[in-house]
Structure formats: structure tokens, C-alpha cells
Amino acid sequence: MNSLVLTLTEALRYRGGIGQWSWILHRVSGLGVVLFLTLHVIDTSWAVFYPGLYEEAIAAYQSPLFTLGEFALVACVVYHAYNGIRIVIFDFQPRWWKHQQRAAFAVLGADRRHVGAGVRPDADRSDRPLRPQPVRARP
């Protein structure tokens, strides 16, 4: 909780541009992933120690609210990964920091594209083959 208070305090104090928003989103997405992993470890341990409670938790996870939470989790993971790659690249190439704004918008665009692809109603491709099948000529 202390980290959340620090994040909010710093967000309200610092008045930067896209760099500020990248930092805030990176911190919040990281906290979201840590929160999910903590809850996941706890509820998975219930399968061994409290099977009835585990079944109730799994039933609760089928609600639409948790479905929205899963989409938010995917968005957090994807954004955190892309922004982390951006930070690593800039750490190794400091002269590229002048392109920070363009790179931050590229990260947001990549996140939107990849998360949006999973949210589309026609994104369920479980009945389709993973690889295109070769077209065979009819005799």
C-alpha cells in the first residue's frame, strides 16, 4: 500500500508530459501484475488446503467482473512488457532519449493493437487451424 501512496504522491507532484504518464502506467501496471500474482498463488494454494473454498473462488471467477479484470490484466502485462523493453533500449542507447515521446506513443499503440486483437468478438479462433492448410488441387 505504501508503494501505491508513493506512486499517487509522485504523480500529483511531478508535472511532466508523456514521460510522466509512461512512468505512472508502468508503475500501476506492475502493481496490477503483482497483485494478480499474489492472489493467484493464494487461491491456487486453496486447491490443496481448502478444496471447497477453491471451488467457490473458481465459480466467482466466472463472473463478468472478473472477465473485465482478465482483460485489464492482459493490458497491464502487455504494456509493462513493451514499456520495459523501451526503457532497456534507452538505457543502452542514452542518445535516443530525444525520441522518448515518439517511443512512448509507439508503446501505447502496440499495447492497444495487441490487447485489442484479443478483445475482438471474432478473436476466438479455437476452431481454426494454427497454420494455414495447403490448398490441394482437385483431380
In angstroms, the CA 23 to CA 19 distance is: 6
Q: pLDDT for 40-89, tens place per residue?
A: 999 899 988 998 998 998 888 888 888 888 888 988 998 899 888 888 88
- pLDDT tens digits, 98-115: 777 788 888 888 888 877
9 vs 55 pLDDT, higher one: 55
pLDDT of 61 reads 87
* Range 29-48 average pLDDT: 92
pLDDT at 9 over 60: yes
Q: pTM for the full model?
A: 0.67
Residue 33: per-residue pLDDT: 94
Per DSSP, the residues of 13-69 read: H---SHHHHHHHHHHHHHHHHHHHHHHHHHHHHHHHH-HHHHHHHHHHTTSHHHHHH
Angle formed at CA 131 by CA 128 and CA 134, multiple of 5 degrees: 100
| Rounded Cα distance, 92 and 89, in Å | 5
pLDDT at res. 11: 65
97 pLDDT band, cuts 50/70/90, is confident
